[in-house]
Structure 1
Amino acid sequence: MTPRIWAVLGDKTGDNAQVEAIAAVLGLPVETRRLVFKPRYRKGKPWFNASLRHVDRAASDALTGPWPDLVITIGRRPAMAALWIRKQSGGRTRLVILGRPKRDLSAFDLVIGSAQYQLPDAANILRIGLPLMRAPEERLAAARHAWDETLSALPRPLVVLLVGGATKPYRLDAVTVPELLAAARTYAGAEGTIYISTSRRTSQAAVDALRAQLPANARLYTVADSGPNPYLALLDRADALVITGDSVSMLTEAARLGRRLAIFDLPLDPFWHTVARLRPLLMRLGLVGFERDLGAFHQWLYAHNHAVPAGKPLAASAPAATD
């Protein structure tokens, strides 16, 4: 009998794409259950347990029997729903989660974690290098067509600087900007073009500093601009990329396209130096969950020749990362 499989999705496009990537290669029918979360829990974190209290059930796909044999999911809020589904099935439903569960690894039959996750050795842990995300080819092609005339007219090399934002334990502020621009100039030289694109997480202080210190050979796009976002076109056409180390998604998409990539390692917030020393103890006590280690993610990219630290020479070409 064909197993009943549910892909339980949340509100994050990148997360959902990873679940859908697994569903697409199973060779079995997979039913989608898309969840909508109550407003207070879209950013606020509900206490992690088997529950639907954070789900807007009227706006979500129905979660009713017959219950699935297998659930594939990702993220804190969908994982809570997955645990609830298994409870309704009398414990029969098996659970596969991508990323890091909140504390209780044994609650899941399979945990698939990429290089940034600090996960212990266990029978139900499957380690992979990169998250299962990539820029869709059809969207890249559309961006290539839309931006071809504009980008073709720019002096080469085209060095794209993709700027994320502060994320614990790292800071990205106005003080960081001069070093960031210097890293991009390393690869653009005097003749090339630096094209800077910020993200939703880039602070206004950092954006203001970028604008104030913008080199003569640079262009700047911010998410507040009214025009179309050049991100995919820049990813497609860049001769070299400098990406701030906080953004796993941008780094992954660049690596999967085989772009020449330099990672700008953000400075640590001083507060987190102390927290980092205490983290192993706090994890053993169950007071914090399994956090990301972006440094480990960067090291994986370096070790597999997909990137170099910003400022280091770039290879003539880079291999495209595969699953």
Structure 2
Amino acid sequence: MTRLAKPPSPPPLTIWAVSDGRAGNAGPALGLAEAIQRKRKAQVVIKTIAWKGRIGRLPWFLNPLPLRALTPESEIAAPWPDIWIAAGRATLPLSMRLRAWSKKQSFVVQIQDPRMPTSPFDLVVAPKHDRTQGDNVLPITGSPHRVTAKRLKADAARFKAIIDPLPHPRVAVLIGGKSKAHNLSPERAAAMAHEIELPITQEGGSVMVTFSRRTPESARAILSSRLKHMPGYVWDGEGENPYFAFLAGADYILATEDSANMATEAASTGKPVFILKMDGDSLKFRLFHEDLERLGAARPFGGTLHKWKYKALNETDRAADEVLRRFDERLIP
């Protein structure tokens, strides 16, 4: 009996994760690309774009010839990818034209609210709190990210010497900083340090503190000096950030209210997440935190530590499933 030859396997997908390189954009783009790669054989290519002169500061509609305006290091040129995933305002002049450039061969995904008509994109993965609407919009809680059980385990092993000796309960403290809606003044930083110190001292626990690039130097110095006497580890900004190892080793997670990325990543662990108040206010962030509370993932920090259980947030995989579903449907004649 003649055996039928197996049909050849389809070639791996090519996925570009495109951003301006800022953590708040690069992380979500790469996180979604990697989630798709876990579900479908694919090659992920990171593309970091930059614009010549002041062109990057202009609105998308004042950049009519974006390929000419890119720096050579951006390396945006054909052959185009199967799936283009972009995040951030800087990518819009490219994303909105890619379907035309690729003759609709590239599936174009834009992360975050583009603040423009969504029709140039195949899919917009937008935070629910942005209230973006459209048939090609997938609203998710927070933003895509790179946190997985495998990554947490690997980073916990790499920082084992730092984390393992720390007494429980271990509290990861994720500090953001200045944004359009929020700030971290010296006065608020001092009050925050006191709020963090009291319950951890009462519980006999330890702190694991990490800062973002947006943390003001004055706030970083105050929080570092006021928490360094406690059992724990305060990352000084030198060397690799043990952020993921802190998420892995924590019993509780405190995250400042200015970052959807940090809170979403924290909520993906299934551990109790508390939101730390900052200076300023934002309706969109209030809606985001209310969404987290409805899901049971996070609560405002009231000065005490307490446990509860909830289903770990897994919005990145949900977004990846939707990308692949729509990508496959488009190929059906």
TM range (shorter): 0.7 to 0.9
Number of aligned residue pairs: give it. Answer: 297
Q: Residue 304 of structure 1: CA displacement? A: 0.4
Aligned pairs (5 A) from 1:13-92? 13-21=26-34, 23-24=36-37, 27=40, 32=45, 34-38=47-51, 40=53, 44-49=56-61, 51-56=66-71, 58-64=72-78, 71-89=84-102
Contact preservation (8 Å) 2:177, 2:184 = yes
The whole-number CA distance in structure 2 between the counterparts of 1:116 and 1:153 is: 39
- Alignment CA distance shift 1:294-1:218 (3 Å): farther
The alignment status of 1:251 with 2:243, answered yes or no, reads no
Residue number in structure 1 paired with 2:209: 196
Q: 1:84-104, CA deviations, whole angstroms, 9 ceiling, x for partnerless residues?
A: 333435678663312111323
The whole-number CA distance in structure 2 between the counterparts of 1:193 and 1:110 is: 43
Contact preservation (8 Å) 1:211, 1:220 = no
Q: Kindly report the root-mean-square deviation, in angstroms, between the aligned alpha carbons of the 2 structures.
A: 3.3
1:221 to 234, 242, 247: 234
Amino acid of the structure 2 residue aligned with 1:211:
S
1:230 to 242, 247, 252: 242
Q: Residue 262 of structure 1: CA displacement? A: 0.4
Contact preservation (8 Å) 1:133, 1:253 = yes
- Alignment CA distance shift 1:149-1:87 (3 Å): closer
Tell me the percent identity: 24
Contact preservation (8 Å) 1:255, 1:261 = yes
- Alignment CA distance shift 1:139-1:32 (3 Å): closer
Residue number in structure 2 paired with 1:285: none
The whole-number CA distance in structure 2 between the counterparts of 1:193 and 1:217 is: 7
The alignment status of 1:175 with 2:187, answered yes or no, reads yes
Q: What TM-score do the two structures reach when normalised by structure 1?
A: 0.77
Q: 1:135-183, CA deviations, whole angstroms, 9 ceiling, x for partnerless residues?
A: 2444433332233233232232112221110111111121112332233
Q: What TM-score do the two structures reach when normalised by structure 2?
A: 0.75
Residue number in structure 2 paired with 1:298: 289
Unmatched 5+ stretches in structure 2: 1-9, 316-333
Aligned pairs (5 A) from 1:260-271? 260-268=272-280
Amino acid of the structure 2 residue aligned with 1:15:
P
The alignment status of 1:141 with 2:153, answered yes or no, reads yes
Residue number in structure 2 paired with 1:158: 170
